[in-house]
Structure 1
Amino acid sequence: MNYETLNDAQLWKMIASDDRGAFGYCFKVYSKDLFKYGQKFTGSREVIEDVIQDVYLGIWNKRKTTQISSSLKFYLFTAFRREIIRRLSSFRKQESIDQFSSALLKESSYLDGVVKKQFINESNEKLHKAINLLTERQREAVYLRYFVELNYDEIAELMNVQIPSLYNLIFKSIKVLKDSMTEKVQSKTK
């Protein structure tokens, strides 16, 4: 069976009807993105892998009763985010989720890793500095929009923000990046 030709609703229908091949394909396609997203919360490979496995196990166990009609990717990211925050917050009960999430986002930035891989020359350093000007929430929003390719409705629900606020957050992020990069180019030409 060629699962690549199926949309998310069709793939989920096959999983719900006990197709282990479809389930394996789903794991293969989305687990790497979930792992990269998990690195925004913790540097612990073991915790991220455990949460991914638990999310997939939960999905398999509830496949008969769960309804996914459009975006399987969004469903997975939502379940993953909820579970990793729950798991990590149990380690640090004295901090609120927002404080904890903010601290974790500072520890490991996937965007920084992508920048280092894509740019080996001087522009890498400039872009890295520009990204560091973004807040943790801006980094997460930009990551989800441009690297994970979730739509605005999905990101707003995932990050628990209103859509107009999300538009504003991403717009300001892009403006900060653009201004920072333009400033560095202009200062170099003077």
Structure 2
Amino acid sequence: MQSRFLHIDDTKTWNAFKSGNQAAFAYIYQAYFQPLYNYGRKFSSDDAIIGDTLQQLFTELWQRRKRLGSTNQIRNYLYKSFRRALLRNLAKKEKAEQSSIQIPFLVCLSHEAHLIQQQHTAEQLNHLEQALAQLTEKQREVIYLKFYDGLTYAEISEVMGISSAQAYDYMYKALKALRKNIKDSGNYNELTSSALVLFFVVNSHSFF
């Protein structure tokens, strides 16, 4: 059954959730659990810690709902909260201070992307994958959030805890490096948004 909150703006949905409306909470959970899970997989392949972090996040949201602030962008609120909690849990797992470890932002092609075109396109995607692997973690994360999740630079800055100027800078340097790396490989084609979107094709059920 389609939730009645599907066509209600985020502010009203969030306020309904905060007031204890279980249908609003269920809608938020169902709408954002999988995108958050996919996002978490870019930081770690540890399904258990990603799942535990998500369950902890939504449990705490419900328990603390009356004390939560207002928001008109539920997605941004959840991404920011989940990112912070996941990095903290990954740091605890490694028994190290969060500031002293590098949490790799993983990028890999999905099975579906490889099947789109098995020859020419697959070869181009392979070169793109190699070029992406040479970027910094933050550059890859900005690209993922922009081209796969469709966040604006302002939203990216909120999620990652950086300024909008830094988000622009990461993207500019990432695209510049991608073009150079692909050109240097001898397989240069103008890098387009559609190519990056294709790269980030993800099967939403492949992780279960």
TM-score by length of 1: 0.83
- After TM superposition, list the pairs within 5 Å mapping 1:22-41 onto structure 2: 22-41=24-43
- After TM superposition, list the pairs within 5 Å mapping 1:38-117 onto structure 2: 38-94=40-96, 96-100=97-101, 102-105=102-105, 109=106, 111-114=107-110, 116-117=111-112
Aligned length, in residue pairs: 180
Greater displacement, 163-172 / 143-152: 143-152
Which whole-Å CA distance do the structure 1 matches of 2:38 and 2:61 have between them? Answer: 20
Which residue of structure 2 aligns with residue 173 of structure 1?
174
Does the 8 Å contact 1:38/1:84 carry over to 2? yes
Identity of aligned residues (%): 26
Distance 1:53 1:157, change over 3 A: same
- Segments of 5+ residues of structure 1 without an aligned counterpart are none
Which residue of structure 2 aligns with residue 153 of structure 1?
154
Which residue of structure 2 aligns with residue 2 of structure 1?
4
Offset at residue 179 of structure 1 (A): 3.2
Offset at residue 70 of structure 1 (A): 1.3
What is the aligned counterpart of 1:21 among 13, 20, 23?
Answer: 23
- Segments of 5+ residues of structure 2 without an aligned counterpart are 116-121, 190-208
Which whole-Å CA distance do the structure 2 matches of 1:80 and 1:56 have between them? Answer: 9
What is the aligned counterpart of 1:11 among 10, 13, 16?
Answer: 13
Offset at residue 21 of structure 1 (A): 1.6
Does the 8 Å contact 1:68/1:75 carry over to 2? no
Which whole-Å CA distance do the structure 1 matches of 2:77 and 2:19 have between them? Answer: 18
Offset at residue 99 of structure 1 (A): 4.4
Distance 1:148 1:98, change over 3 A: farther
**Structure 1 ranges of 4+ moved more than 3 A:** 179-187
